[in-house]
Structure 1
Amino acid sequence: MRNFALVFFSCLLLHTAGTWLVPLADRDEPRFAEASREMRERGDYVVPYFNNKYRFDKPPFIYWTQIASYRLFGENDFAARLPSGIAAALTAVLLFAWGRRLGGERAGWWAAIIFSLCLQTFIHARAAVADMWLVFFVTAAFWAGYELIADWLSPSSPASDSRHRKYWRLTFYVALAFAFLAKGPLGWMPLLTVAGMKFFLRGQPLNRRFWFAAGLLFTIAIVCSWGIPALIRTKGEFFWVGIGRHVVERSFGAMEGHGGQTLSSYFLTLPFYFVTVFVSFFPWSIKLPALTKHLWRQRDGIDKYLICGTAIIFILMTVVKTKLPHYTLTAFPLLSLLLARHLFTLPGSPRFAVRTAVAAVVVSLGMALVGFSIVARTFPTVQLFKKSEKDLLPEMHFGAVDYSEPSVVWYFRSRVHGFLWAGKPDQVKKYMEFWGPKFIIMPTSVAKDLYPELPPGWKSYTAQGFNLAKGKHVDLTMILKPTND
């Protein structure tokens, strides 16, 4: 137990270091964080909202974890990101335990180390998004699936008894259910892997081990305990938008410019993940060519299971039209186990492994504790918030023109109780003249055209920085009317 605690707390400290120093990045982080706050304000833990409108992008599990974090640490950037750090640390514990089963103590340690110190884990373990919980539950399902067929994959593994199989079968289907609640149908890739293993386990009665029909009904029942109330409350809209738009459309069309828009560009992007893995899995991706060569020559049943799971994730994400580097993140625990099992049989690996791990820890902590504080100065929303904070009143209304980013909602709603109004330049004066204290954020050029001189008592604040969502420099002005006039 001491080693499990060491893995968990060391990883948690690594992943949470400096998360309070850098603001939430537009657009995904503030959307998740604010939806959790609004869920908490409403006392409605079924249907998420963002800026007082339905948010159907993701199922609710990430919101539940962020709400729990808010209750302990308050509604702030650190608390919004903490659940991802916990999920990453728990995934490392799973890999440590599973790795010990596959290759002894050393394999367990290195599986946890490799996963925890790759680039995509560095990013997503510190981000207020749903991905790390998906990775955790998918990894748990992969492990449970392995245990149900371990004696078929490795002759040295003892045949499992009925009590043993019952435990792992329950774990498998519960993990599938919560993987769905974390990020939707993508969480069921372990099920495809088990089906794919039929090719390697011909003649073996998989259904006797997995009880597919009963197990899937159990999984669906868990999902429906949330899904049915959500569908009733939204009159089915949660399904049609959440599944129809964010799963089906994302699969058959390139959403938000991520992926090939035409048939020819789609084919050009097919190798996307087989190229970006060398960045996403860095620095350990340096060893992937040698690992591939080694496994091509020699592999056992355990390797085949891990390879099958990895291949299914990469192939499925390759076929999907919308492409982002982190979409294959659920394969990284399997890659970590594969590399950990064979790391010290690859040429030059012992020295490489130790030096790389030490360097990765130093760079990660340096980026988190020093780099984040430098980057934080480029976030214009936070600059405006800090400059105007003492003048904000709970009863204020607020709006934005050409800058209605989610970060505006997240930061300013910590002081005001209204919701963001997104308007056009020709609507600004009418909005500001309406009764009540309020403020509006707009490009400085627009503000100068509309208000060469401010009315008496009004205040203005300016900020320059980088809009991550649009990838461009912005110069913003916030105009505040502090009275009811």
Structure 2
Amino acid sequence: MIKITKQTRHIVVLIFLSYLFFMLGNSLLSLTSPDEVFYAQTAKEMAKHHSWVTPYLFDEPQFEKPIFLYWLLWFAFMLFGVSSFGARFFPALFAILGVIAVYLLAVLGFRDNKKAFMSAFILMSAGFYIGLARTVFTDMIFTVFILLALVSFFWGYSCREKKMLGILLFFIFSGLAVLTKGPIGFLISFLTIVLFLLVKNDLKFLLCRYSLWGVIVFLGISLPWYIIMIQKYGHDFTHEFFYNDHFRRIIEAEHKRYDTWYFYLFSMIAYMFPWSLFVLMAMIYFFRNLKHDFSAINVFLACWISVVFCIFQPAHSKLSSYILPLFPALAIITGNFVCNKMSLEPKIQRNSYLLAFSIFVVLWVILFMHSYIDPYVSSKLSAEYLLKNYKVESYILCSKPFVRGVRYYTDKPVAVVNIHSTEDNFFSLHPIPYFHSKEELVEFLKKQPVTYCILKKSSIDEIKSLAGKEFNFTLLKAVGNQYIFVVSFLRNL
């Protein structure tokens, strides 16, 4: 009879629960604007242009992110069709892998299955992790590659007979992280292990032939796509990708209200909800007692958190998703803390699991209400109404938040109206008409006899002010926070 180990049972349970938390019901809510549709539309247009190398958006090459997520989306669309479930499949799958990786790292570090299970369970049930697992972003895939790289290294470090494989896997996963979100993927993982080895006075561990082989493999994975893009597009690619999408985010805030000294400190605690209070207590306890418990896993986790925080804190562009790579470390620290407290207060265990499942209930309440939420987060219903009831043969004029979604759901040319707004243009290049002034908008509307519009409420007055002798303005339908209008140029009627 085959004996099933406790670790195997734990992993099976975690996979099942992760499926419920991350993947089940992913087809209910339409792809949201502006980011999910950005990635999905890019994959669609790559297929349309038969391009495995160059990402496309608005039928032009776009250089905002590396290629790996688009490959995954393209593959998912071939498997499941172009759908919200297909687009969200790989972020959810990688989130499941992340939960299992945290379990394995905690087993390696603590030699305690209970602490490992609790650590993985905390990550799996953290609200922000669930949200990004169910969202088409690069962040989850990027984070899991960094996590797998660090787990591989720690495996090789803890089990010296696995040193060669651990180091090689570290460089493989680091290369895939670079192919997912850029050079920062290697910077995070490499600085973490170097700082760890320096603190442990064991830098010689990395100075071996396995590292040389690993560097060769890393370069073979990460460099070819960048070399091809630089050769093909030259300055256009290097300026947009390396300056605009990387260096500019360091020196300039894309979202100015987030550029504060406390933003990431707040995010680390708040976005681990419903475990926030436990995380706060665990972090205080962890760093206070680090000098008394200088074990390899504790030093490793401290270096991991410090590197991620020190890399992203000085940059002026701040988003909570940027520090997702430290959430696995937070979960392990918190899992260890909670399990230690459980031994003193058994009722904490019961309350902890009830706390985690409360967010599962909240998640399913949200999914159950998807028909009420959809009109406010997605342009699918507006686009479907327009295409079903009217013959759209020209540009669709959109408010800025809706333009990517309208493009995704209609495959029609789009333009943006943004008069009298304090918002800037898109942070990255968008090769579409963008109207900041009434004069520009009038010239555009005169070039097509009928213009259909999907606008937010604040943009309505910008269009209505044109009504009069030259233009006729008609409201067709309101869908959530989106208003569908038609503007007719009277001289051409």
TM range (shorter): 0.7 to 0.9
Is contact 1:271-1:318 (8 Å) kept?
Answer: no
Mapping for residues 81-160 of structure 1, pairs under 5 Å: 81-103=88-110, 104-150=112-158, 159-160=159-160
Distance 2:113 2:44 in 1: 42
Is contact 1:460-1:480 (8 Å) kept?
Answer: no
Select 2:177's aligned residue among 157, 176, 179. 179
Kindly tell me: are residues 13 and 42 of structure 1, through their superposed partners in 2, closer, same or farther at Cα, counting changes over 3 Å?
Answer: farther
1:42 aligned residue: 49
Matched, 1:278 2:269: yes
Is contact 2:127-2:272 (8 Å) kept?
Answer: yes
Select 2:318's aligned residue among 323, 327, 332. 323
> Which TM-score applies when normalising by structure 2?
0.82
1:345 aligned residue: 340
Which sits farther off after the overlay, 40-49 or 421-430?
Answer: 421-430
> Which TM-score applies when normalising by structure 1?
0.84
Matched, 1:400 2:415: no
Is contact 1:464-1:475 (8 Å) kept?
Answer: yes
1:314: how far off? 1.3
SS in 1 for 2:182: helix
Deviations 1:71-99 (A, max 9, x none): 12221222222221111111112122333
Give the aligned length.
449
Which amino acid letter does the alignment assign opposite residue 160 of structure 1?
R
Is contact 1:444-1:476 (8 Å) kept?
Answer: no
SS in 2 for 1:400: strand
Mapping for residues 71-82 of structure 1, pairs under 5 Å: 71-82=78-89
Kindly tell me: are residues 379 and 111 of structure 1, through their superposed partners in 2, closer, same or farther at Cα, counting changes over 3 Å?
Answer: closer
Provide structure 1 residue ranges, at least 5 long, that are not aligned to the other structure.
151-158, 261-268, 467-473
Deviations 1:265-314 (A, max 9, x none): xxxx2232112222111122211233234322242221110111011111
Which amino acid letter does the alignment assign opposite residue 477 of structure 2?
T
1:249 aligned residue: 248
Distance 1:440 1:32 in 2: 23
Distance 2:487 2:84 in 1: 25
Mapping for residues 81-480 of structure 1, pairs under 5 Å: 81-103=88-110, 104-150=112-158, 159-161=159-161, 164-188=162-186, 189-203=188-202, 205-208=204-207, 211-257=210-256, 259-260=258-259, 269-295=260-286, 296-297=288-289, 298-299=292-293, 300-346=295-341, 348=345, 349-370=348-369, 372-379=370-377, 381-391=379-389, 396-400=393-397, 402-403=399-400, 405-413=403-411, 416=412, 418=413, 422=433, 424-433=440-449, 439-441=452-454, 443-448=459-464, 450=466, 461-463=476-478, 465-466=480-481, 475-478=483-486
Is contact 1:57-1:246 (8 Å) kept?
Answer: yes
1:264 aligned residue: none
1:382: how far off? 3.0
Distance 1:258 1:180 in 2: 28
Kindly tell me: are residues 218 and 387 of structure 1, through their superposed partners in 2, closer, same or farther at Cα, counting changes over 3 Å?
Answer: same
Distance 1:480 1:136 in 2: 51
Which amino acid letter does the alignment assign opposite residue 94 of structure 1?
A
Which sits farther off after the overlay, 421-430 or 270-279?
Answer: 421-430
1:259: how far off? 4.2
Distance 1:253 1:17 in 2: 38
SS in 1 for 2:485: strand
Distance 1:223 1:111 in 2: 31
1:178: how far off? 0.4
1:18: how far off? 3.7
Is contact 2:308-2:326 (8 Å) kept?
Answer: yes
Kindly tell me: are residues 306 and 429 of structure 1, through their superposed partners in 2, closer, same or farther at Cα, counting changes over 3 Å?
Answer: closer
Distance 2:486 2:12 in 1: 48
Is contact 2:282-2:334 (8 Å) kept?
Answer: yes
SS in 2 for 1:323: coil
SS in 2 for 1:397: coil
1:380: how far off? 7.1
Identity of aligned residues (%): 19
Is contact 1:99-1:111 (8 Å) kept?
Answer: yes
Distance 2:267 2:471 in 1: 53
1:137: how far off? 0.3
1:196: how far off? 0.4
Distance 2:34 2:360 in 1: 28
Which amino acid letter does the alignment assign opposite residue 425 of structure 1?
L
Deviations 1:146-196 (A, max 9, x none): 12222xxxxxxxx522xx222112210000000111111221211101110
Which amino acid letter does the alignment assign opposite residue 115 of structure 2?
A
Kindly tell me: are residues 441 and 455 of structure 1, through their superposed partners in 2, closer, same or farther at Cα, counting changes over 3 Å?
Answer: same
Which sits farther off after the overlay, 122-131 or 202-211?
Answer: 202-211
Kindly tell me: are residues 399 and 210 of structure 1, through their superposed partners in 2, closer, same or farther at Cα, counting changes over 3 Å?
Answer: farther
Kindly tell me: are residues 197 and 102 of structure 1, through their superposed partners in 2, closer, same or farther at Cα, counting changes over 3 Å?
Answer: closer
Select 1:70's aligned residue among 74, 77, 94. 77
SS in 2 for 1:70: helix
